[in-house]
Structure 1
Amino acid sequence: MEGELIRKIISSKSKTFLAFCFSFLFGVASLSFVNQKFFETQIFIIFLVCLFALGFFWKKQAAQFFILAAIFFLFGMMRINFAIPEHDVNSLSFYNDKKQSITGFIAGEPDIRQDAVHYIVEAKNIRVQNAWQPVTGKVAVKMPLYPRYSYGQNITLDCKLKTATPIEDFHYEKYLATQRVWSVCEAAHIQVEPGMSSNPLLRVLFSFKAKCAENISRLWHEPYASFVAGVLYGYRGGLGTLSNDFNRTGVTHIVAVSGFNITIIASVFSATLLYLLVPRKKAFWIVSFAILLFVLFTGASGSAVRAAIMALLVLISRQLGRTSRMDNVLLLTVALMSFSNPFTLMWDVGFQLSFLSTCGLVYLTPHLQKYFSRVPTFLNLQESLTATLAAMIFTLPLILFQFGRFSVVAIFVNILVVPAVSFIMAFGFATLLSSFLYWPLAKVFAFFTYLILEYVVSIVRFFSNLSWAAVSIPLPLWGMILLYILLIYLIIKRSERDKFFSLSPSERR
């Protein structure tokens, strides 16, 4: 049985490719829990040379397959090993647990929250024994809301460097590792220095975004202004108690830059264009261009790019009309993303939700559509319902494992809310665009957007106020794995059954 399975994999280029991608990902995952270099690079190189030699001299096809799989596994281990910084005097993390003076610049868009602003600072030099010496690395800094600092500003930072540690069940140090940050700053003092050290294009984008935020705050009051900003570019500050309402009703994704949000919105937008008799090919390019604009508008952050790629994969699968072609593309995309940033595979929840929601939309939606064939297509209700359910089912085990909260009303609220979000996006974008062209027209668009916002907020608050809206259901790792194995098994069995019944009577025999 096992030998037959191996032969099937070896005889299929597609299955062999999948096996090697899985091997690489397992290699990355195997060292994702390590905080320091596990092996010296030389050992990896020697091991790889031995494996290549073994594969060259051992002519049995099955043996070569396992050797190549082992090589890809080692490549995965090497990639994450390289991503962990060297612990020497040239690395900023070497000086953790000491009070330091650092020169550098603000390396990303400030993350503005309700009570503070989080900055990522790229270090250039550090003062050691009253002398400045070059250093590489990033540090996370939490500062008060004011004074505000902007992307690219050169600064001198005085603080105590520390190594990040877990916060209760949250692996904060791993979250920072996904941003290639290995130090945090306590009791920080920032002094702005002359000049800028930034990407000119990003500086223009962030400046434009700041102007957009200013216009949004003039057109709507809170929490509606933050709601629109969240839908348009993932802003999370200013929602106040509405943020908890979103959590309890399972619709946090609508104000987050994630594949869960973008894939659903893209699917609904695409289906709406088809409903309006826009040709499928034109609809595909229109939605793809809209996703590209969204990525640029958010500043092309890593999370936005990953989410956009996942959304585009869903559109491509529907354009091709065959989900079977998506297996290699989807897994290759995950492997390439993990190669680019190996810490995202195990520690970036946003990346995991993006991948799983994409899987749900690609593999589960076709099966769900058969059960909702009687749902009216008016206002694209059928597509919205199936897409939302598919994404929710595929992400539920991960959500229970990561957050331990199950929203009893999530399905109902998402069905009522998600179709409206695409209209908030469309009207919000029209409002923002017209605010730069003709302010009175922007106020007209803002009024219609407000009506949709009020509808969504009313639905969310009504269901959130129910005492049983959300319940605590912690799910252990083994439970999550079992649920996904069961889900994959059911989809495979259903696909095989559908394939069988699609054959003619003579072919079934």
Structure 2
Amino acid sequence: MRKFNDLEKEVALVGTIAKEPDIREKTIKLTIEPEEIKGKFLVTTNRYPEYQYGDKLKITGKLKTPPTFEDFNYKDYLFKEGIYSVVNFPKIELIEKNQGNFIYAKILNLKNKLRESIYQNLSPPQSSILGAMILGDKRKISEDLKQKLNIAGVRHITAISGMHIMILSGVLMYLGIALGLYRSQAFYFAITLLSLFIIMVGAPASAQRAGIMGGLFLLGQKLGRLSSSSRVIVMAATVMLAANPLLLKSDVGFQLSFLAVMGIIYLMPVFRNWISSPPPKNVKKFVYYLYNFRYYFFSIILLKNPAFQNIAAMTLSA
């Protein structure tokens, strides 16, 4: 794929939209998997006409190497996703529709119905926050709300992350048991629904990573040993880094998700014991004051740690 980058002439490639289109206010980004060429490329084009997952397109334009910005290495970010070229506003010809995976297409249809239900029945900012947390629609959150979440240090809670996957994993496991399933049956029930959820939100790298950790956490619950969860999660991080070392350099989310999951495993029992001991209100006030202290006076490294932020948010909502 990279051999076609930065040529003076236009290149014509035929490929299929490989994932859900990324819709912006005036533009749309399409991840194209070309025929007979290894790798993918990213197309930026006008918002209309609309294109869907599975559309087979003929793209004619000049492929470019992804740029590197002063404060963000966009090239490395795309490379770790298997995207090696970008093309802006090319000529696009629709060849055929519905060429993608049938099951994935049905899951995206379900996602669109859920999205319509959320935005029709809830008003902003509740709809945008819920959409971001369960559908991965981060771009629906207004800039003003993003700024407030940044000041509070909890913006990462609105993204599909290790914390969400771990909570969902536990809920699904206990739901299966509550429905009368054996622990081993509940494990397969939970892992199946968890996999479908990750596919529904677009299977970004962060969700895939969290899904692996969540699946291993469920395996530890299936075995009935929490200590097994911590060991296999460390093993999962090691395996993921061995398979793709760029995660450590180019994906800060890898570090944040790993810390969040380990924080829940090791710190949540401690906080649960504190909260269950009298006086629980004083503990909550302490966490609240300590967390806001860094906003009014100065930043504390501990409070910037995602593990502490997740525990603080969960403690205050308890």
Tell me if 1:203 matches 2:105. Answer: yes
Aligned to 2:6: 97
1:60 maps to none
What CA RMSD, in Å, does the superposition of the two structures yield over aligned residues? 4.0
The letter of the residue matching 1:122 is E
Rounded to whole Å, the distance in 1 between the matches of 2:154 and 2:77 is 22
Q: 1:162 aligns with which of 59, 64, 71?
A: 64
Q: How many residues align?
A: 297
Contact 1:117/1:144 (<8 A) preserved:
yes
SS in 1 for 2:92: strand
Tell me if 1:295 matches 2:194: no
1:117 partner SS: strand
Q: Measured at CA, do residues 168 and 106 of structure 1 come closer, stay the same or move farther in structure 2, by a change above 3 Å?
A: same
Number of the residue aligned with 1:249: 152
The answer for unaligned runs of 5 or more in structure 1 is: 1-91, 125-133, 400-406, 420-509
- Residue 318 of structure 1 and its aligned partner are, at CA, apart by 5.7
What's the CA shift for 1:395? 9.0
Which residue is equivalent to 1:363? 266
- In 2, distance between residues paired with 1:146 and 1:375? 59
Higher helix share: 1
Match of 1:452? Answer: none
* Correspondence for 2:44: 142
Q: Distance in 2 between matches of 1:280 and 1:369?
A: 27
Q: Confirm or deny: 8 A CA contact 1:141 1:184 kept in the other structure.
A: yes
Matching residue of 1:331: 234
Provide the rounded CA distance (Å) in 2 between the counterparts of 1:284 and 1:341: 31
Match of residue 119, structure 1, among 4, 27, 30:
30
Q: Which residue of 1 aligns with 2:304?
A: 396
Q: Is the 8 A contact 2:33 2:40 kept in 1?
A: yes
**Residue 261 of structure 2 corresponds to residue 353 of structure 1:** no
* Cα deviation digits, residues 173-217 of structure 1 (max 9, x gap): 111012111111134332211244311111121122223222333
Task: Give yes or no for contact 1:162–1:185 (8 Å, CA) kept in 2.
Answer: yes
Shift of 1:122: 1.1
Bigger radius of gyration = 1
Residue 96 of structure 2 aligns to a residue in which SS? strand
> CA 1:110/1:374 → structure 2, altered by over 3 Å: closer, same or farther?
same
Distance 1:282 1:325, change over 3 A: closer
Paired with 2:279 and 2:223, the residues of 1 have a C-alpha distance of 25
**CA distance in structure 2 between the partners assigned to 1:158 and 1:287 by the alignment:** 44
Alpha carbons of structure 1 residues 283 and 122: separation in structure 2 relative to 1, 3 Å: closer
Secondary structure of 1:139's partner?
A: strand
CA distance in 2, matches of 1:394, 1:331: 21
- Please say if residues 113 and 238 of structure 1, whose CA atoms lie closer than 8 Å, have aligned partners that are also in contact: no
The answer to whether the 8 Å contact 2:16/2:99 transfers is yes
Spell out, residue by residue over 1:140-178, the C-alpha distance to the aligned partner (whole angstroms, 9 max, x if none).
Answer: 122333322111111121222111132222111111012
CA gap of 1:104–1:264, structure 2 versus 1, over 3 A, is same
Classify 1:159/1:376 alpha carbon distance in 2 versus 1 (closer, same or farther; 3 Å): farther
Per-residue CA distance 1:329-349 (angstroms, 9 max, x = gap): 123222333455443343223
Q: Letter of the aligned partner of 2:304 in structure 1?
A: L
Cα distance in 1, alignment partners of residues 191 and 92 from structure 2: 41
Kindly provide the amino acid, as one letter, of the partner of residue 364 in structure 1.
Answer: L
User: Structure 1 pair 317/250, CA: closer, same or farther in 2 (3 Å)?
Assistant: farther
Deviations 1:43-93 (A, max 9, x none): xxxxxxxxxxxxxxxxxxxxxxxxxxxxxxxxxxxxxxxxxxxxxxxxx21
